[in-house]
Each structure stands twice: as structure tokens, then as C-alpha cells.
Amino acid sequence: MKSIRRYGCAVLAAAAVITWAGGLVPASAQSGVLGYYRFPSIHNDSVVFTAEGDLWQVGVNGGVAQRLTTHPSEESRPAFSPDGRTIAFSAAYEGPTEVYTLSLDGGIPVRQTYDGAAALVVGWTPDGEILYATRRFATLPNTQLARVNPKTGARTLVPLAQASDGSYSRNGRTLFFTRLAFQGSYTKRYQGGTAQNLWRFAEGDREAAPLTADYKGTSKNPMPWNGRIYFLSDRDGHMNLWSMAEAGGDLKQHTKHDGLDAQWPSLSSGKVAYQLGADLRVFDIAANQDRAIPVRLVSDFDHLRERWIKTPMDWVASAHLSPTGDRVVLNARGQLFVAPAQQGRIVEATRDAKVRYRVGRFFPDGKSLLTLGDATGEVEFWRVPANGIGDAARLTDDGKVLRWDGIPSPDGSRIAHYDKDQQLWIYDVAAKTQKQVAKSDEGGFDDVRWSPDGKWLAYTSPASNLLTRIHLYGVDSGRSTAVTSDRYDSYSPDFSPDGKWLYFLSDRNFVSLVSSPWGSRQPEPYFDKQTQIFHVSMKPGERSPFQPDDELSGPTPSTATEKPGEKPADKATEKPAAPPAPTPAAQGVKPAAPVTVELTGIQTRLLEVPIPAGNYNALSTDGKRLYFFSRDAGSARATLRTLAIENKSPRPEAFMEEATYYELSQDRKKVLVRKAQDLFVFDVGAKAPADTTKNRVPLTGWSFRLDPRDEWRQMFTEAWRLERDYFYDRGMHGVDWPAIKAKYMPLVDRVTDRAELSDILAQMVGELSALHIFVRGGDLRRGADQVVPASLGATYARDDKAGGYRIERIYLSDPDIPEELGPLVRPGVDVREGDVIEAINGVPTLSARDIHALLRDQSGKQMLLKVKPKAGGGSRDVIVTPISMGRENDLRYDEWEYTRRLAVEKATSNRMGYVHLRAMGSGNMAEWQREFYPVFDRDGLIIDVRHNNGGNIDSWILEKLLRKAWFFWQPRVGNPTWNMQYAFRGHLVVLVDENTASDGEAFAEGVRRLGLGKVIGTRTWGGEIWLSQNNFLVDRGIATAAETGVFGPEGDWLIEGHGVDPDIVVDNLPHETFKGKDAQLEAAINYLEDEIKKKPILKPVAPRYPDKSIKRGGGR
């Protein structure tokens, strides 16, 4: 049970304030309105904080705040200088988040860093340097603390390998710091391996010392004052203010909020300011009193203004044709629009940003739209007038879980739909009743298609062996029958217009491009072009339209043959003027004649369409042709192709290349195609016309408005509902989920920008106390400038005497991969550590406070350097091409990885191998291939998954390690080899740390449970409820849900919330690791050395060859 059932006075007080203030309506008693306040910083009696994405200042007793900044991007994490005259803060004025300073007397902010990544202000040192957190200097990507002198720009790295925030003692000699950075997942009461904890490090100390090792939960934000350390901790189940002695111990709790968590504390002169919900509070240490700071804003609230979306195609989530193809219904930013295929007005069919409409489809009458909307708080079906005139009518009232899509039957009397609970339904529009068609325990439903007469429903669902089958449901009989077996994946069914055939795709072609598992690096089969096209007759005796003519049956009529006098759609000749499209009221498509289906023996009537197998998907037919996407292996680009339904050896033709979506109209006479940001409506045919301009749906000038406040309210409710519908435990970990919604809903009326909404969502979803819950993205406001610093793959120190910036360190990487070398070590450049860069593109480097100021916007561009060699001699000019800061991050990581490998090989004389996996994604398969096979035959192997970000390939790697050599080959000459080929025969160790996450943890636990080796390091992250990240909000932000729990054969949940406990605990301590020591790697080497001594890996020796000679006397 992970429920916290007490909400308490803090929440009630906050709600009372909100009610009294009336949200954003000014109260008569005071000027200004309530906002949402974050990141407070206090100095004496003044507080600076973030609201509306800007910095504001107010007195500690509250009042109307003064705005300090106005830039469109967010300014955050302000911190007062020791004299109280300057504010340091983080902002993304040019793209990357950097450190800036601002005088409280006004003026232009001064940029202090050029890290090209998240440079986050932590505070100031007593002597006036800015303390900030960064990953800019780490090789293994850890957060460290650095100091920058705001006057000179000189930067000093705090000598700790891990430190995410902290404060210095008054004399500046002792740093109290939070060792680990926030682990990324919003979860409360977290006690996994990455839980934040407090340490201290003083001048002259050999190593930093832990202060809160007695508690497995979170302790963070240390603030020294009068011999004690004040900090935030969740020791009572909520984040509150605590204190302890400077050496640890003597704990005292100072606040007891039991509804909301305290955040972002700041201490000055015995007062601690902090955020609670949407408000600021201050705790007076001497008086032992805690109170709210009543802040009000006088602002134009620009983020709340009605906005116009000028590029709606950026937000289009779906597009569907009208029954006759004369219009397209578009779903953009949660609203429905109807656009003409040729000329006419664009209809705004829905106009309420408080409601998200998920998808829109035309009813067969062409006059109304079927959509899913959440106006009631649940996702229900609605009928909306297609012309935008009149009210929407709710069709269903039984929503309990997220519904995906609704497919009207050809006559509009029924709606087939499926939901997140893996149920398939048919809704009777007239009777207003639901009937469950099927429920699956193996996965969801897809590819729902009605027969032309609306009496049969084709759909796909996975079988118990997880292979996808096609089923037919009879509306009259109420029974489902499998059309395909569970031997192959079959999908994408579509009926022919006459109802005689069901066409579909199935993956049955298994011809590997790799012919054998023998060869370098154990090649595996790769089955390209698995998909074939099939058709099955609905009753016995039907002759396939692809069957060749014969003397008994006569010629087969070609459905693709044009009628006499008919102009083929794909010819270049000019077409006569088409008759005007019928009005919406008269364009209903009449259902086809009744379809006869004989279910007995239907699986035996399977026929292949005579077309080579390929990489196909999304099959449909207009009765004369098949339409489908085709793509090359590994390519995201698809071509929409057609195939004539005839027996004259038809060949696929390209209808349109690089299309991303298509669909046929209900009357099968028009086809809608999306390509990039354009939509086209064509006549059906073999291929699109050469000139497509006349077929482009006229969307130029389309724009629409939205009210951010309405959208934010909708997104809050939807985030809550999607968390409910996606979370793996229907019981929500024992949390009263409706009460959680009620708890946080009042805060939404305080929101004044999108980032503040994310703050509420993070607090809300964190109540589930589960990992893999992230709050990301959304339509955040950004500045116009996106100027990113480039890198030369080195670090520098300003050297005025030498006349430039001296190169202190050039990052190394594996010379066997020359394309990944840094710019300064590439052939022909020959720049070395100790050389001085005097000028960049003719600009003296000493003219810049930071050399990276001269590298802005230079990634990938040739650059002229003037370099003075360390060895002496005259300066020379060098042409280099800088890399991006993202590539520099990889380069630093490359050096860490490469030097670990070299250290292992040097320490063991190449008797041990080393493989590091940064994550468990598709790209990390290449890491395995590159690093494992050169060392598979060594006596020991270290697989390093420290800082592994997870993914889903653990089973693939474990499979390789499970291979065992069970016999050996002895050739005529040379050493024996073994089967299974490339099986590792030595001793294995896996290295983990607190940042080993998700699938990296699953891999480590798998190694141990399968008896493959030992795990060494520190306890891991603890995130083992997997997720899909599909529950996006209307502005493409997301509050992810933990969707799939993991348990072991013994019946216990694995890893979640705790992590993987190593067999041998070894910590890489912050200071000694900064100096270059890797205690975990050393422990792994020592352990393997001992194992090899105890159980040496013997080289296989072939037995004596048999003597098959004939002996004297006839015997052998």
C-alpha cells in the first residue's frame, strides 16, 4: 500500500485563499491578482521568485510584486548575491539554458556561462562567486558544481565527481551538498538507489562524508545557519523543512505540511523561503514560525491572452475524408475542422478548448461528424454538425476508460470502437446500447473494418502466442470467427466493394538476407520483405480476379479495366469538367447489396495475390486496385503503391512517394494522401497526376484561436484521467485518485504559463509513488534566438601572458573510430594540449570573457584558428570544423569509456575484456557488436551498465551470454574453436551504480538470477514498471504513466522503488573519483582475478587422434 490519506490544513488553507481571491479575478481589498510562484530566493527582507516565466521581487511580508524580467523564455532559479545587489539566474535566451546575472538596479542581463546545456544556478559562495550545477565537464555524465566569477568569467570546478546543489559555510571552507541530482521521474516517497542525500566536504578533507546515510528517502537542499544544516526531507511522508547538526544527527522537524510538498528552499538571515503548491511561505527559525507570503501580481498576463495558431498543420493529429471525398475533417490541437477538397470555407466544427476532441470521422450521411470528446470528464462519443452550425449531441454516457476511435457502419446505424481495456464494442446509435464484441488478454484491437453492407466486422487481435489474427464478427449472429490461423501475423483487412473478398496482409515470407549464423560477430538472420498480400473469398466457389484465364472458365473480367469511353484517372489527358459534388445533404453513400459469408472452411479459401513479398502496410482497395504503403528496409520513407486487380500479370505502381498517410472515401472514388505538411485529394487510379497542385487541399490562410486557460484546465483533467487509464495498477497503489484530482484542481486557476501547469502535473502524478512517471514537453514559450555554442572537444584556461586561451585537455576517443575523433586531433590539425589559441576567425580570443562566446553558431562550419605551439616557434593558422555541444557530450563520454577499457586491458595484460552499454536501445546493439566480440574469448569480462539509461534489449544480450560451449572443433592446423560459436566461457561481472536505470536494471538482475555472474557497485534507480509514452496531451506534452509491472517467478514485484542490490557494494566516492580513481572498476578486476585463480579457464585440448590402422593378424 502506497497511499497517503491525510491532506490536512495546508491544502485547506490554500483552497481558502484561492476561493477568496477568485482565481485570477482581482479582489476588492487589494490590488493585483494571485499567480503561481516558484523558485523563491530570499535575502534579508526581500524575495525574488519566478511567475509567468519571469523574475519578480517582493518583500518578505508580501504585497504587490515588481517584475524584473520580460524575456519570452523562462527565467528560473534566482539567487541573491551575498550583498543582495545582484541576482544570478538560469535562462534560455539563446536556446541553451545558461547562467545570467542581473543588477537589481536594472539593466541588461549578463551572460556568465556558455556551457551549451543546462547550467542551473544553485547559489553564491561567500566571496561572491556564482555556484551552479552543470554536466559540461563530466566524462561519465554526472552533475557537478562549478563556480564562476561574475566579474572575470573565471571558472573553477568543485573537486567532486557528483554534486547537484549545495551551500558553503560562512567562512567558505566547507561545502554542504546534495550528492545526486534529481533522478528525473516524478515520484513521492522515493527510496531507490538514486534518492538524494546530503554530504559535506571541507578544505583538506581526503573525502566527502555522508550526513544522511541513516535514511533511505530524500534529503536535499542543504542550507547552513548557526551551526545547523536546514534541508528538505520526506521523512514523514511529505517534503518538509528539517535541520540537523553540521556533523549530522540531532534531527529536528520544522514544518509539518501533510498535503503538499515544500519545494525550492532558500535561507537568509535566519529565514527560509520556500514554495508550497502555488504559494510562497517563509519559516522564521528564531521564532519557530511558518507563514504564507501573500504575493499579488500586477501584470498584463501575456501568457493568458487568446492565441492564434498560424500553422495548424503542425498540430494535425488525424484527417479523414467525407463519404464522397469532397471534404476532409481535420483534428488539430483537440478541435475539429472541415476543409473543402477544392473550394469553399473551412468550417470550425468545434470551438471549445475546454474539451478535447480526439478524432473526427464523417457519418455516412455527410452532414455530421462522429467524434470522441471529454466534455463530461470521460471520453464519450458525440455527433457534431459538419457545417459547424448547431450543438453537438452526446451519443454515449457510459465512458469509464479511454476510447480510441469509432468507425461508423456504412449506413451509420452502428459504431465499432475499442478502448484501453482491450475491449471491442459495437454501439447501436438508435437503441443507444453497447454490445461487447470481444475482449483480449493479450493486447489491443486494431484494423477495424465494416463489410460494405454493414453486417460484418473485420478486426485484428493477438492470439495467445501473440501472433495477430484476423476475425470476422457477424452482427446478426453475434459470433466471431477467426479468418486466419495463429501461425502467422495477419493484419490490415479490407473488404472488396462487392463484399466477395477480404484482402489482407500477412508476414509469411522468411527468406533471410543473412544466409548463415557462421562468420564474424555471430551474424543473425534478417528477414526482409516478410509481408505478402492475400485474399480470401467470403463464400466457396468464387474465382479469384487474379486467376489466369483457362479454357473452362473463359476470360476473367478485369476489375481494373476502364469502361468504354471512360478516361483513366492516371492519364495525362485533360479530363472533362466533373459534375458538381452533391450537397452534404444529398451525398449519403447507399450501402451495398447484402454480403454472403460462409464461415465454414473460410481459412481454407486463402489465396495469395501475385505480387512479390515486401515491406507493406495499410492495405485497402477501391475494387479495381489495391492500395498499400511500401518501404525499403530500415527506411522511414514510404511510397504509396497500387496494384491492379486483374490476371494480366499486374505490377505495383507508385501512386505517390514519401507519403505518410492515405485513405479511400466511402464511395471508393477518392483517395486522401498526406505528404509532409500537405493534404491531397485525388481520383482513385493507378498513380497520382504529375501535377498535383490542383489536388492540394486549400489550407492556405487556415488559422484558429485558442484560450490557454481553457486548454490548461482540460489538460490537467485529461492528465489525471490518462494516468488512471494507463497506470498498471487499477487500484492506483491504494491512492484515492479522485481525491488527488480534487486536491490539485484549485491550483490550476493560479496557473499563468505552461511551465506552471507542468509543475502541478508533476506534483499530482508523483502521488502514485512509482517511477517511469515523467512530465515533459508541451507548448512552452521560447525565445526567438536559437544560437548554440560549438566545441573543439577540449577545455581551456585564459592565459593573458601567453596571449590567448591555453588548451588544458583534449578529449580522447578510440582511434579505431576516426569519424568520432575530436576536431583538434583529426589528421592534419596537430593541435596539442598546452598550445595557445590566440585568435578565432581573426578575432583575438582574449577579447572574449569565455572562448565559447566565439564558438557560437559555428558547429559544422570551417573555422580558422591561430595557434601558438607549446613547444615553441611561431604561431600558425589551422582550419578546424567544430562539433555541436551534443557531440561534445558524447566525446567526453567516449573518453570515459575508452579509458576504462584501456585500464582493464593494462591491469590484466588483456586477459579481461570490457564492454560498456550506455543504454538498452536499438543504437546500443551496435555498442554490443563492436565491443563484445573482440573480447569474447578472454578469461574474464566486465559488462559496465553504470549510468545505463534503459531501453528494451536486455533479453537480446542475455541470450548471447546464455550460450554455452558444449563441443569443440579441431582443425588440421591451429587452435580448437567451439560450438556454440562466440559463446563466452569465462567469468563475468556486471557493474551498476545509482544511475543504472530501467532495462539496465533488468539486465543486471537477469545476470544474477540466471547465474551468469556477480553484480558489483551501488543500488540502482529502481524503475521497473515499464511504459509506452503514448498518453500525450493536446499540446503534445505528456505526464507518462507506469504501465507494465515486472514480477518474478516467486510472485514478488521486482526492482520497482528499491533497485537492484549489488552482490558486492562498492561506492565511487565523490572526491577520489574526481581525482581519477574508479573503485568499482578496480573491485571488478580484483574479483575476476580471484575467480580466475580459483577456477581457471582452461584452453580446450583435443584428445589423441584415433588409430584406425589395420593391425597384423587382421585386427585393429
Final residue belonging to a domain, choices 647, 674, 704: 704
The whole-angstrom separation of Cα 444 and Cα 442 is 7
Enter the C-alpha cell of residue 138: 563530466
Enter the C-alpha cell of residue 118: 543546462
Sheet arrangement for strand 653-657: 616-621, 625-630, 639-644, 653-657
Beta strands in 539-688 (DSSP E): 606-608, 616-621, 625-630, 639-644, 653-657, 661-664, 670-675, 678-683
How high is the pLDDT of residue 32?
82
Q: For residues 448 and 541, state if they share a domain.
A: yes
DSSP 8-state class, residue 293:
E
Final residue belonging to a domain, choices 684, 704, 724: 704
Q: For residues 471 and 593, state if they share a domain.
A: yes
How high is the pLDDT of residue 591?
64
Residue 935: count of CB within 10 angstroms of its CB? 21
Q: Is the peptide bond before 745 cis (omega within 30 degrees of 0)?
A: no
Q: Do 518 and 474 touch, CB atoms closer than 8 A?
A: no
The whole-angstrom separation of Cα 1038 and Cα 1041 is 9
**What single string gives the DSSP state of each residue in 393-448?**
EE------S-EEEEEE-TTSSEEEEEETTSEEEEEETTTTEEEEEEE-SS---EEE
How high is the pLDDT of residue 587?
58
Count Cβ neighbours within 10 Å for each residue of 583-601 and write b for 16 or more, e otherwise: ebeebbbebbeebebebee
How high is the pLDDT of residue 1112?
77
Count of domains in the chain?
4
Residue 927: which CATH number?
Answer: 3.90.226.10
Residue 869: which CATH number?
Answer: 2.30.42.10
- Beta-bridge partners for 370: 361, 383
Domain assignment present for 451 = yes
| Identity of residue 52 | E
Enter the C-alpha cell of residue 435: 454490445
Q: For residues 945 and 970, state if they share a domain.
A: yes
Beta strands in 68-111 (DSSP E): 75-80, 86-91, 98-103, 110-111
How high is the pLDDT of residue 571?
40
Instruction: Identify the CA nearest to 613 among candidates 532, 528, 506.
Output: 532
As a whole number of Å, the end-to-end CA separation of the chain is 77
The whole-angstrom separation of Cα 347 and Cα 927 is 52
Residue 230: count of CB within 10 angstroms of its CB? 24
The whole-angstrom separation of Cα 492 and Cα 102 is 60
How high is the pLDDT of residue 19?
32
Domain assignment present for 721 = no
In which domain, by residue range, is 818 found? 794-885
Pick left, alpha or beta for residue 62 (phi over 0 → left; psi -120 to 50 → alpha; otherwise beta): left
Which positions ≥6 away from 370 have C-beta within 8 Å? 360, 361, 362, 363, 381, 382, 383, 384, 395, 406, 408, 415
Contacts 24+ apart (CB under 8 A), 239-248: 239/188, 239/263, 241/265, 241/272, 241/274, 241/283, 244/211, 244/212, 246/169, 246/174, 246/176, 246/200, 247/200, 247/211, 248/210, 248/211, 248/212
| Identity of residue 918 | R
Q: For residues 936 and 804, state if they share a domain.
A: no
Q: Do 989 and 1035 touch, CB atoms closer than 8 A?
A: no
How high is the pLDDT of residue 787?
92
Instruction: Identify the CA nearest to 18 among candidates 279, 264, 293.
Output: 279
The whole-angstrom separation of Cα 322 and Cα 318 is 13
Domain assignment present for 868 = yes
Q: For residues 295 and 321, state if they share a domain.
A: no
Domain assignment present for 428 = yes
Q: For residues 517 and 656, state if they share a domain.
A: yes
Residue 53: which CATH number?
Answer: 2.120.10.60
Q: For residues 265 and 402, state if they share a domain.
A: no
Residue 530: which CATH number?
Answer: 2.130.10.10
Query: How wide is the angle at C-alpha 663 spanned by C-alphas 609 and 645, nearest 5°?
Result: 25
Domain assignment present for 762 = no
Element containing residue 763 per DSSP (H, E): helix 754-765
Q: For residues 695 and 806, state if they share a domain.
A: no
Domain assignment present for 826 = yes
Going from the C-alpha of 126 to that of each of 101, 215, 299, the distances in angstroms are: 16, 30, 35
Q: Do 210 and 197 touch, CB atoms closer than 8 A?
A: yes
The whole-angstrom separation of Cα 517 and Cα 525 is 7
**What single string gives the DSSP state of each residue in 871-922?**
T-S--EEEEE--EEHHHHHHHHHHHHHHHHHHHHHHHHTTSEEEEE-S-BST
Q: For residues 321 and 300, state if they share a domain.
A: no
Q: Which segments of the chain have a pLDDT < 70?
A: 1-30, 556-591, 1113-1116
Which positions ≥6 away from 1039 have C-beta within 8 Å? 186, 719, 722, 723, 761, 762, 764, 765, 773, 774, 775, 1031, 1033
Beta strands in 24-97 (DSSP E): 38-43, 46-51, 54-59, 63-64, 66-67, 75-80, 86-91
Q: For residues 391 and 289, state if they share a domain.
A: no
How high is the pLDDT of residue 586?
45
Q: For residues 934 and 811, state if they share a domain.
A: no
Give me Rg for the CA atoms of the chain: 34
Residue 701: count of CB within 10 angstroms of its CB? 7
Phi and psi torsions of 56, nearest 5°: -135, 160
Final residue belonging to a domain, choices 287, 304, 321: 304
Going from the C-alpha of 885 to that of each of 793, 861, 882, 889, 898, the distances in angstroms are: 9, 14, 9, 6, 20
Q: Helices (H) and strands (E) in the chain — how many of each?
A: 10, 72
The whole-angstrom separation of Cα 776 and Cα 754 is 11
Instruction: Identify the CA nearest to 374 among candidates 361, 359, 363.
Output: 359
Q: Do 759 and 36 touch, CB atoms closer than 8 A?
A: yes
Bridge-based pairing of strands 940-944 and 912-916 is parallel
The SS3 call for residue 1031 is coil
How high is the pLDDT of residue 555?
74
Domain assignment present for 315 = yes
How high is the pLDDT of residue 672?
98
HSE on the CB side for 958, CA within 13 Å?
20
Domain assignment present for 449 = yes
Enter the C-alpha cell of residue 1081: 572498476
HSE on the CB side for 172, CA within 13 Å?
11
- pLDDT tens digits along 781-799: 998 899 989 999 999 999 9
Q: For residues 863 and 989, state if they share a domain.
A: no
Instruction: Identify the CA nearest to 493 among candidates 502, 481, 501.
Output: 502
How high is the pLDDT of residue 557?
64
Which positions ≥6 away from 1044 have C-beta within 8 Å? 728, 1025, 1026, 1027
The whole-angstrom separation of Cα 140 and Cα 899 is 11
